[in-house]
Copies of this chain bind each other. A is one copy, B any other.
Amino acid sequence: MADFELTKHLRMPAATKIVQLVMDGLGGLPREADGKTELEAADTPNLDALAARSQLGLAMPVRPGVTPGSGPAHLSLFGYDPLAYDVGRGVLSALGIGFDLHPEDVAARGNFCTIDENGLITDRRAGRIPTEFSQKLTALLSQIELPGIKAFVQTVKEYRFLLALRPTQGQTLYANIADTDPQKTGVPSLPAVAEDEASEATAQLVNEWIAAARDILKDHAPANSLNLRGFAKDPGFPKFPDVYGLRAAAIATYPMYKGVAKLVGMDVLAVDGEEVEDEVETLRAHWDAYDYFFFHVKKTDSAGEDGDFERKAGVIEHVDAAVVPAILDLDPDVLIVTGDHSTPSALKSHSWHPVPTLLWSRYCCWDGVHEFGERTCGRGSLGTFPATDEMQLALGHALRLNKYGA
């Protein structure tokens, strides 16, 4: 049976509410001192009490041993197998900076680079120019005009930028275009080559834009040229509200997570501030209007990426105190507490480790373990399970799935 077909077949309406609380990069690794992970070391009385009445498990974002990026990791939590639902790099770049990508846009990831007097690439990253310098260049490139096209150019970070082409006269653009980056130095950039007939006109436009851009950049060494990679359009995934029959809202403060939520058709709610308390306010204000909330906490991941065990544990403690009781006060029917992936401070990066996860509902056969941590989840009754199962488990526990067969 195709993806989502069973879910769409069985789902039924109900007046129940589901919250998926995602602490980004939640999973961690033991520290030397006492063998505790960040989550285990954190003092989390509310999560521990909740765990005692929940099922515990470890959620695998992609496949065993595989470390996910943020986009694939979130798609997985929303029930979309990231190997089947592939988002092009251009679209991920747009999501990452909160660019309002339209379905008709073609997006690409751009890299400034350095070329010598013969046009051969000498540095594929233009000496990693500072973001401020990059922003001046993308402002200049934004002035390029193409017939029937609006070309958006925005800095991502350092030498990386986003190019998005939007048709203004109803024409259709196609994104099956090869990278111009030859992936090595000492050779010239490649032209943008269409990989199917439909994409030829778009590739031609891209080449015109590249020529104009290089003309502008030629005096801005080390960023005196550029390459484009990962041409892509909005992949047109099945929409989350349609798949699950849920009015769905996303509460997040960072562009990437709002972007992925938007990609699957959730309403992205405005948050007045950057703190989890502000996100809780948004949740309260919209509680009645939605059936499902994706509630994203960013700072666990940032602390893990910085290798700061104590700070990561502190963020978890803060969520335990400021978010968990507030959500429970709203009386949800299903609450899942999880992460999109692990970000152990020991590794200072995303990792492949499956993520501690708790599923609470009044109809769950709770494990009765009074602690939410990697080790208790590793012995939990959910086992090590694909993160893509979470939404369907949530629907079941929310009494939103009909019986299969008579």
- A interface list, Cβ under 8 A from B: 1, 6, 10, 27-30, 35, 37, 55, 58, 62-72, 82-83, 87, 89, 92-93, 96, 344, 346-347, 350-353, 363, 365-368, 374-375, 378-385, 389, 392-397, 401-406
Pick the contact of A365: B83, B378, B392 (CB < 8 A). Answer: B378
B401 near A67 with CB under 8 A, answer: yes
Inter-chain contacts of A346 with B (CB < 8 A): 363
CB distance from A80 to the nearest CB of B (A): 12
Kindly list chain B residues whose C-beta atoms are within 8 Å of the C-beta of A70.
405-406
Which residues of B lie under 8 Å from residue A385 when comparing CB positions? 64, 384
List of B residues within 8 angstroms of A27 by Cβ: 365
A259: shortest Cβ distance to chain B, in Å?
Answer: 11
Given A58-B381, A72-B405, A353-B365, A397:B65 Cβ within 8 A: yes
Q: Which residue of B lies closest to A68 (CB)?
A: B404
Contact A406 B365 (CB under 8 A): no
Tell me whether A68 and B379 are in contact (CB under 8 A). no
Residues of B within 8 A of A10 (CB): 66
Instruction: Determine if A405 and B363 form an interchain contact, defined as CB atoms under 8 angstroms apart.
Output: no
B396 & A65 in contact (Cβ 8 Å cutoff): yes
Bound Cα distance from A384 to B359, whole angstroms: 15
Q: List 29 A-B contacts (CB under 8 A).
A: A6-B63, A6-B83, A29-B365, A30-B366, A55-B378, A58-B381, A64-B392, A64-B393, A65-B392, A65-B394, A65-B397, A66-B404, A68-B403, A68-B405, A69-B403, A70-B406, A92-B406, A93-B406, A344-B363, A347-B363, A350-B403, A351-B396, A352-B401, A353-B365, A365-B375, A367-B375, A367-B378, A374-B381, A383-B383
Q: A6-B83, A64-B389 are in contact. Are A89 and B406 (CB under 8 A)?
A: yes
Which residues of B have CB within 8 Å of A402? 67
User: When chains A and B are docked, how far (Å) is the Cα of A393 from the Cα of B354?
Assistant: 11
Kindly list chain B residues whose C-beta atoms are within 8 Å of the C-beta of A89. Answer: 406
Q: Which B residues touch A394, using CB under 8 A?
A: 65
Contact (A389, B65) CB under 8 Å given A363-B347, A403-B350, A405-B87: yes
New contact pairs (16) apart from A35-B368, A65-B389, A365-B374, CB-CB < 8 Å: A1-B83, A28-B365, A37-B365, A62-B404, A63-B392, A65-B394, A65-B401, A67-B396, A70-B405, A71-B406, A82-B404, A92-B406, A346-B363, A352-B396, A374-B381, A384-B385
Which chain B residues lie closer than 8 Å to A69 at the CB level?
403-406
